[in-house]
């Protein structure tokens, strides 16, 4: 990883999996256990990756769920629960990561968020993410229609956040997203847990 004086480094964080824990199975696991229905079918197919990608790219959630209910009428109740009970999938804040953010802010670094989230989901989660006030700006996939690891969203972040790639540190829990950032000349850390993040930043003299 390229080194730069601490004061010059800018940090860009992912949200889900780094700053907060979001898990679809926290809602649908108990629902399917009580009903005896197939958990894998609802989370991997009906509300699976293609649906999540649509939401993250900015598709309005309610019309999307209505369309899915027509397509899968046998899952109508479970599909409806996705938005009416969405908060149950937001498990909570990853406090150790927030502590790292707070320390970076205290040291005077610029901080940004680059997340694969729809705007509706983000605004719904915001009251439970008071740490967002520590960030200078946010770029969501739902606002631009681009998903990480698409190189376009990193280019847009460079413009919106006025980033110098070699002095930018990107932190994400998905390796493919970090590799995409590195391919643009950013520094990257694959997030595993708050302690690993803290020690990695310490090793590189960033904390």
* Distance in angstroms (rounded) separating the CA atoms of residues 158 and 63: 32
Which stretches in the chain have pLDDT values below 50?
1-5
Q: What is the pLDDT of residue 87?
A: 96
> Is CATH 1.10.10.10 the classification given to domain 8-21+91-203?
no
pLDDT digits (tens, 9 = 90+) for 145-192: 999 999 999 999 999 999 999 999 999 999 999 999 999 999 999 999
Q: What is the pLDDT of residue 6?
A: 64
**109 closest CA partner among 7, 2, 15:** 7
Q: Sheet harboring 110-115: ordered strands across?
A: 137-140, 110-115, 10-13, 168-172, 187-190
* Distance in angstroms (rounded) separating the CA atoms of residues 136 and 112: 6
Would you kindly state where each structural domain of the chain is located, as residue ranges? 8-21+91-203, 24-90
Q: What is the pLDDT of residue 2?
A: 46
Asked if 114 and 14 count as a contact pair (C-beta separation under 8 A), the reply is yes
Average pLDDT, the chain: 95
pTM of the model: 0.94
């Amino acid at each position: 990883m390229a080194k730069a004086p601490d004061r010059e480094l800018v940090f860009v964080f992912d949200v889900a999996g780094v700053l907060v824990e979001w898990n679809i199975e926290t809602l649908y696991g108990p629902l399917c256990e009580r009903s005896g229905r197939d958990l894998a079918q609802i989370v991997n197919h009906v509300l699976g990756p293609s649906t999540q990608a649509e939401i993250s790219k900015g598709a309005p959630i309610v019309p999307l769920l209505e369309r899915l209910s027509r397509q899968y009428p046998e899952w109508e109740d479970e599909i409806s629960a996705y938005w009416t009970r969405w908060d149950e999938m937001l498990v909570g804040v990853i406090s150790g990561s927030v502590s790292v953010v707070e320390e970076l802010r205290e040291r005077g670094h610029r901080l940004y968020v680059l997340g694969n989230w729809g705007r509706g989901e983000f605004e719904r989660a915001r009251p439970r993410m008071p740490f967002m006030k520590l960030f200078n700006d946010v770029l969501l996939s739902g606002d631009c229609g681009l998903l990480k690891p698409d190189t376009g969203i990193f280019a847009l972040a460079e413009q919106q956040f006025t980033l110098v790639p070699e002095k930018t540190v990107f932190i994400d829990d998905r390796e493919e997203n970090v590799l995409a950032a590195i391919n643009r000349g950013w520094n990257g850390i694959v997030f595993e847990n708050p302690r690993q993040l803290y020690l990695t930043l310490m090793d590189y003299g960033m904390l």
